[in-house]
Structure formats: structure tokens, C-alpha cells
Structure 1
Amino acid sequence: MHSNLEAGYSFPSGHVLGITVMVLIIGQLFTSMGTGLIVILAATWLLVVTSRISLKAHYPSDILGATSLAIFCFSLCQQLFSAFI
């Protein structure tokens, strides 16, 4: 009998990586929208992060690693884009 539950933790969290990149891109594109959008984006990111930990799908280090990787990749892409455009 197979269980649908994950067998273990994974590093980094793909969900957190994805939501972090999405929040960074939307925040960058719509910076003129003001603090309301920033609050909504931050709340969405926080909901995903807390869900991954509360569901015991990831350790906090998985969350930190995914967030760091997303910020690094986003920053690198911004630098490359600025250099070539």
C-alpha cells in the first residue's frame, strides 16, 4: 500500500523558491503600485513559508536556502539584463 505523503524533506523548497521569485518579479514590475501590493505579496510569501513548515514538508533551513537561492538568481538575472540591454 502506497502513501501519498512525501518520504522526507528536500533542500531547497521548490514551493518557496517559486513564490519568492514570483514575488520579486511582480514587486519589480509593479513598484509604482505602492505599499498595498507589497503587503499582499509579503503576506502571500509568508503563507507559503508557514504552510511548508507547519505541514512538516520542510525544515527552516530548506526555507532559508530556497529564499537565498531565489534572491541570488533574481539579482544575477537583473545584473545580466542591465549589462546586455
Structure 2
Amino acid sequence: MNIETNLLTPQDLLNAFGVPLQTQAKWRMKKGDGIKLPYIKLGRRVFYKKDSIEALVNSLEVNSIASINANTIKDKR
């Protein structure tokens, strides 16, 4: 695996998802509930692993099959 192709910069995340740089910084420092953006810091540079961002995006999905199945199980009890 080529590490460079597996890493995104904050600008890449902005271009792909429209998440402003300032919002990304807040999400990286988030404590408690809410979106916690996983990141790698090399010196002053910040990077995101593509796999981690994909997992985060998937976890934010609303009305996914997994959540529908979980709610269906709760309703049947």
C-alpha cells in the first residue's frame, strides 16, 4: 500500500465533502458527543486516512439498513 494514496489533506476533505477547514479543526478537537474527526499529525501537517473517513461517513448515515434493523428488533420486543 502506498501511504500517500491512502492519506487526505484537509483541502482534499474540503473538496470532496465541502467541510470547511475551520469546522474540520473543531471536529478534530471535539470532546464528548458529536463528530470526532480521526486524524494523523506529522509535524504541523494534518492528514486523514481514507479508510477512517469512509468509516466516519458510513457511521453518520441516517436510516441505514443497520439502524432500521435495530429499530425493528426494538419494536418487536
TM-score range, shorter chain: 0.3 to 0.5
More helix by share: 1
The higher-RCO structure (CA 8 Å, 6+ apart) is: 1
TM-score scaled by length of structure 2: 0.32
More strand by share: 2
TM-score scaled by length of structure 1: 0.30
